[in-house]
């Protein structure tokens, strides 16, 4: 099936054969096999990137939609970010102490995201959501947390459950879920568990769970319903923060203010970062020794200077590009519209979902004329096996993505869009021969 891809990637094949002897599933992050083993193949090993393109160790070029787990709004190897990192390396790359860059970066984040009355930095998004939930539990003096079906908030024990259909895995502890955009499902969760819920955590636009934006006023509704029950609302903006606008999406685009929020990915342009923060009274429980507080905060690499200076350089550039977000989001929206028109014409059982620069494609078990509105609906129709085969076809077409595609950046071009649509069309035609 992937004859062309396999023939041109011998070095990747050799590396993969070694990797499977070292790492469970061959990888250090589950989805970095990019579904290729499902095509009896292996992922390409990437050696370098520039702008919106990456190259594998065999010299093959890809249009990158993956963009480092959707982190790179400025593209690979942005000169400003690179210079900031090199300057810091010259000075010493980590001291395990407070640094000036940490304070400066905190100030810039607070300017852009007023919800962050107080914040803390970690090295990963998963740590940040873990600490946000821990703080919420301490503050509310309740144990239960609610999340959406399909919601991915990192690999911590608090939130790693109900990620893929049929959502039947048991939470490690004290977790319940609901179907985002489905008010009945949300109401039922509140009715059953409201008194015990410390927090509800939600991505304003569901990422890994299907690229699903909120229905009108869904987040406002969730805000009102949680507030009236003293349940903390946490927005996980690790994908959406600084991606859809200069700042956060929950308040800035969808009109709802959370108690706590988390950031990562785009906020430091590909360097390891997590941020959690929000209401001063809740964050006060993070002060060591605070009455009623729990131990939150730690991490040898928290507020790593390389991430702080990269973050500062990224925010400076994104501030300059503030007015271009509209252009970027329009490019994503019009791409998705053309994509779905093309898939409809081809009567293909695939659907493009997303919002602005976030664009996913899901292979379904039947042809749909409209994108599913909730992660539960999408999950029930999702064809895991065919999705892997489709991913493999895209890779063969020189399009690098996951969850079907990924996210655009300020350096993607109309040519990248045209080539992607052509590649998808070829991939769909090849799929029909399987
Ligand atoms: C919405 C969301 N939250 C949290 C995380 C976890 O972040 P990290 O991979 O940095 O731990 C991710 C990562 O994909 C994410 O998409």
Contact (CB, 8 A) for 263 and 241: yes
Q: What distance in angstroms lies between residue 231's CA and the mean position of ligand 1's atoms?
A: 23
Contact 262, 207 (CB under 8 A): no
Dist. CA 112–CA 248, nearest whole Å:
8
pLDDT confidence of residue 62: 98
Atom 4, ligand 1: which residue's CA is nearest? Answer: 153
Give the helix ranges, DSSP H, for 284-324.
305-320
Q: What is the mean pLDDT of residues 370-383?
A: 96
Protein residue with its CA nearest to atom 6 in ligand 1? 154
Report which ligand 1 atom has the smallest distance to the Cα of 274: 10
The span from the CA of 158 to the CA of 151, in Å, is 12
- Paired tokens of 84: 């900031």
Give the model's confidence band at 122: pLDDT under 50 very low, under 70 low, under 90 confident, else very high. very high
DSSP secondary structure letter of residue 281: H
Strands 399-400, 406-407: parallel, antiparallel or unpaired by DSSP? unpaired
- Residue located nearest, by CA, to atom 7 of ligand 1: 125
Q: Sorting pLDDT into bands at 50, 70 and 90, what band is 369?
A: confident
Mutate to test the pocket of ligand 1, among 70, 125, 407 (most ligand atoms within 8 A of CB): 125
Residue 116: HSE in the Cβ half-sphere, 13 Å Cα cutoff: 23
Exposure on the CB side of residue 228, measured as CA atoms within 13 A: 8
Nearest CA to ligand 1 atom 8: 125
| Residues 332-348: tens digit of each pLDDT | 999 999 999 999 999 99
Could you read off the pLDDT of 181-236 as tens digits, one per residue?
Answer: 999 999 999 999 999 999 999 999 999 999 999 999 999 999 999 999 999 999 99
| pLDDT over threshold 80, residue 434 | no
pLDDT band at residue 397, thresholds of 50, 70 and 90? very high
Look up the pTM and report it: 0.98
For 398-426, the pLDDT digits (tens) are 999 999 999 999 999 999 999 999 999 99
Q: What are phi and psi of 401, to 5 degrees?
A: -160, 180
Instruction: For ligand 1, say whether the CB of 124 is within 6 Å of any of its atoms.
Output: yes
The pLDDT of residue 338 is: 98
What is the pLDDT, as a whole number, of residue 319? 98
Phi-psi region of 406 (alpha: psi -120 to 50; beta: other; left: phi over 0): left
Proportion of the chain above pLDDT 90, given as a percent: 97
CA of 416 to the centre of ligand 1 (A): 26
Cα 110 to averaged position of ligand 1 atoms, centre (Å): 21
Tokens 């992937």 map to which residue? 2
Q: How far is the CA of 71 from the centre of ligand 1 (A)?
A: 10
- What are the tens digits of pLDDT across the range 38-66? 999 999 999 999 999 999 999 999 999 99
Q: How far is ligand 1, taken at its centre, from the CA of residue 425, in Å?
A: 30
Atom of ligand 1 nearest to the CA of 29: 9
Q: Is the CB of 272 under 6 A from ligand 1?
A: no
Out of 2.30.40.10, 1.20.59.10, 3.40.50.720, 3.90.1150.10, select the CATH number for domain 3-77+323-431.
Answer: 3.90.1150.10
According to DSSP, the residues that pair with 201 across neighbouring strands are 147, 234
Atom of ligand 1 nearest to the CA of 123: 10
If you average pLDDT over every residue of the chain, what do you get? 97
Q: Structurally, what CATH architecture does the domain formed by 79-320 represent?
A: 3-Layer(aba) Sandwich (3.40)
The pLDDT confidence band at residue 293, using thresholds 50, 70 and 90, is confident
The minimum-distance atom of ligand 1 relative to the CA of 124 is 10
How many whole angstroms from 265 Cα to the centroid of ligand 1?
8
Q: How large a percentage of the chain has pLDDT more than 70? A: 100
So where are the chain's domains?
3-77+323-431, 79-320
Residue 433, pLDDT score: 84
Which atom of ligand 1 sits closest to the CA of residue 265?
A: 10
Distance, CA of 375 to CA of 65 (rounded, Å)? 22
- Distance (Å, rounded) from C-alpha 259 to C-alpha 230? 11
Can you name the residues that pair with 206 across neighbouring β-strands? 212
Nearest CA to ligand 1 atom 13: 154
Residue whose Cα lies nearest atom 16 of ligand 1: it is 239
**Least-confidence region, from 64-78, 290-304, 346-360, 409-423:** 290-304
Give the model's pLDDT for residue 418.
Answer: 98
């Amino acid at each position: 099936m992937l004859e062309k891809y396999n023939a041109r990637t011998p070095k990747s094949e050799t590396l993969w054969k070694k990797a499977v002897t070292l790492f469970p599933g061959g990888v250090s992050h589950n989805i970095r096999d990019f579904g290729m083993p499902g095509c009896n193949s292996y992922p390409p090993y990437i050696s370098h990137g520039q702008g919106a393109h990456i190259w594998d160790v065999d010299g093959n070029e890809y249009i990158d939609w993956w963009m480092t787990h959707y982190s790179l709004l400025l593209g690979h190897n942005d000169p400003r970010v690179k210079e900031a990192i090199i300057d810091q390396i010259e000075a010493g790359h980590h001291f395990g102490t407070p640094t000036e860059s940490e304070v400066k970066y905190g100030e810039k984040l607070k300017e852009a995201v007023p919800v962050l009355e107080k914040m803390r930095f970690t090295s990963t998004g998963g740590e940040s959501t873990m600490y946000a939930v821990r703080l919420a539990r301490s503050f509310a003096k309740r144990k239960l947390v609610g999340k959406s079906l399909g919601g991915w908030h990192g690999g911590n024990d608090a939130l790693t459950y109900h990620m893929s259909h049929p959502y039947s895995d048991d939470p490690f502890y004290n977790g319940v879920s609901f179907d985002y955009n489905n008010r009945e499902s949300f109401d039922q969760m509140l009715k059953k568990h409201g008194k015990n819920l410390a927090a509800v955590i939600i991505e304003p636009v569901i990422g890994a769970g299907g690229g699903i934006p909120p229905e009108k006023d869904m987040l406002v509704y969730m805000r009102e319903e949680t507030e009236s029950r003293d349940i903390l609302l946490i927005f996980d903006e690790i994908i959406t923060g600084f991606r859809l606008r200069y700042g956060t999406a929950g308040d800035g685009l969808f009109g709802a203010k959370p108690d706590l929020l988390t950031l990562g990915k785009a906020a430091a342009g590909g360097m390891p970062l997590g941020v959690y923060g929000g209401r001063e009274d809740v964050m006060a429980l993070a002060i060591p020794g605070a009455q009623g507080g729990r131990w939150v905060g730690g991490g040898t690499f928290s507020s790593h200077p390389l991430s702080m200076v990269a973050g500062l350089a990224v925010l400076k550039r994104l501030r300059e590009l503030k007015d271009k977000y509209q252009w970027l989001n329009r490019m994503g929206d019009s791409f998705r519209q053309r994509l779905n028109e093309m898939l409809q014409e081809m009567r293909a059982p695939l659907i493009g979902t997303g919002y602005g620069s976030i664009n996913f494609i899901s292979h379904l078990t039947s042809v749909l004329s409209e994108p599913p509105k909730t992660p539960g609906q999408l999950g029930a129709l999702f064809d895991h096996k065919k999705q892997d085969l489709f991913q493999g076809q895209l890779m063969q077409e020189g399009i690098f993505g996951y969850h079907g595609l990924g996210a655009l950046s300020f350096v993607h071009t109309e040519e990248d869009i045209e080539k992607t649509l052509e590649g998808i069309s070829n991939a769909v035609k090849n799929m029909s021969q399987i």
